[in-house]
Amino acid sequence: MRQNYFVKLVRYMKNVYHVDRGLNKLSDGRVNPTYSTGQVISPPVLFGFLLRIKSLNELNFMIKNHEFSKLFPRGTKLPQVDAIRDTLKVIDINGLKQINQHIVKKSVENKVFENGTIDGYTVVAIDGTKFFGSNKKSCPECLKNTKGEKTHRFHSGAVMSTVGIGPKLVIDFEMYKPGQDSASKDEGELNVGKRLISSVVKSHNKLIDIVVYDALACNSIWINHCKSLGIDTVVRAKNNNNKSLRLVKKKVNKLEVVDVWEDEKGFEKIEVYESIFTMDNVEQPLRFVKFAIKHKNKKRIQIMIVTTCMDMALKTLFKIIRARWDIENSIFNNLKSECGLEHCYVHGGKAVEAVLYLIFIASNIMQLFLFRRLKNHFTTQREMVRLLLKGLYLLPYRAELVFSSS
């Protein structure tokens, strides 16, 4: 094999992002454990998610077949799946969070986002999703959905990732909190989104220029919260009970076209309308923009947005609102179909958050490896994973590739 991509990946992880150091600092709540936290998580679990395992049973087969033995010091006994489950339930979540924060900060330091993600701006999107559900398994942190006599239990969270050009990095996520009793409701997505963006701004100062969100956030609560954090926002506007929005929609429908784009990518024609208005309970004026789109098959749709970006070019705004789908396609759809994001690997304690952080850390490493080291040479991540597995089987024992727990 001319070049072993697995060797390249291990070197990239250790030499650029020093993932091994972060893993060795992890701790958990086990008493007198046989294996340290770092030995349990790295390499078996983290590399399992890098190689797109779909269950812990699949990971157990790889461990029993000694497929990770070349990544440990000689003679090291690898932890079994029961030890992995027990560790994930009591692991220190802050340690995993710090590893992901370090990867994002190092990517910024390495000028990954030097030119922004869309026309010079670093744009992130927030969206909520359900990670997995069950009609049988449950834990105190499960959300619930009751229909008749059946109760479906699941976990959900709001995720933030970069969108646009370049690697799609998961910056962080926040879990929905369940209702405290049978009479109270589970936490809403908007509250989770506010908590998420506040946490990210505190951890990654000046990383974000613009945050894009769906119509759920088209209200004064979200806009005021973003302005208080010094971040501009672009949100989708749909049917809304806000009186000021209904009025500006009527006003825009009577205005002349501001701009017309012919033969825009994938479209026959796009007509743009815009107006400045003041939303109820928001002090500063906002910008309302409507894109009337005619597809090449003659189908017509409208995209309406509200934004605090008063001087931004219309084409840039159009790119931003369309890039919001990157979080659905590149993060949720990709990880659910390829990485088992909907699969319940282990339930109870801190396991759900721990597994999510490990999946997102693996996703971020893979994205950076593809875009930065391999220069997007491969068309699909599936092809990259195939070559990584091939490289793992042909991996020679070298001290520089070993993940030591010392």
What is the distance of C-alpha 73 from the center of its chain? 33
What's the full length of the chain, in residues? 406
What are the pLDDT digits (tens) for 56-87? 999 999 999 989 989 888 888 888 899 999 99
Q: Looking at this protein, which amino acid is placed at residue 186?
A: D
DSSP for 156-213, please give it: EEEEEEE-SSS---EEEEEEPPPPSSTTSPPPPHHHHHHHHHHHHHHHSTT--SEEEE
What are the pLDDT digits (tens) for 259-304? 999 877 778 899 999 999 999 899 999 999 999 999 888 899 999 9
Distance, in Å, from the CA atom of 323 to the CA atom of 305, rounded to the nearest integer, reads: 13
Q: What is the pTM of this model?
A: 0.92
Sign (positive or negative) of CA dihedral 215, 216, 220, 223? negative
> 271: which strand partners?
260, 292
Q: Looking at this protein, which amino acid is placed at residue 343?
A: H
| Confidence check: pLDDT of 130 > 80 | yes
Contact 77, 68 (CB under 8 A): no
Phi/psi at 128 (5° precision): -100, 150
Q: Looking at this protein, which amino acid is placed at residue 246?
A: R
What are the pLDDT digits (tens) for 326-346? 898 888 888 888 887 877 788
CA angle at 131 for the pair 128 and 132, rounded to the nearest 5°: 140
Q: Helix, strand or coil for residue 236?
A: strand
- The CA-atom distances, in angstroms, between 44 and each of 59, 62, 306, 365, 400 are 7, 9, 46, 16, 17
Distance, in Å, from the CA atom of 352 to the CA atom of 186, rounded to the nearest integer, reads: 17
Least confident of 200-214, 313-327, 364-378: 364-378
Least confident of 10-24, 273-287, 374-388: 374-388
Q: Looking at this protein, which amino acid is placed at residue 337?
A: S
Q: Helix, strand or coil for residue 41?
A: helix
Which stretch of DSSP H or E encloses residue 392?
helix 381-393
Average pLDDT score over the chain: 89
29: exposed, middle or buried (Cβ count in 10 Å: 0-12, 13-18, 19+)? middle
What are the pLDDT digits (tens) for 221-266? 999 999 999 999 999 998 776 888 999 999 999 999 999 998 777 7
Q: What pLDDT score does 182 carry? A: 46
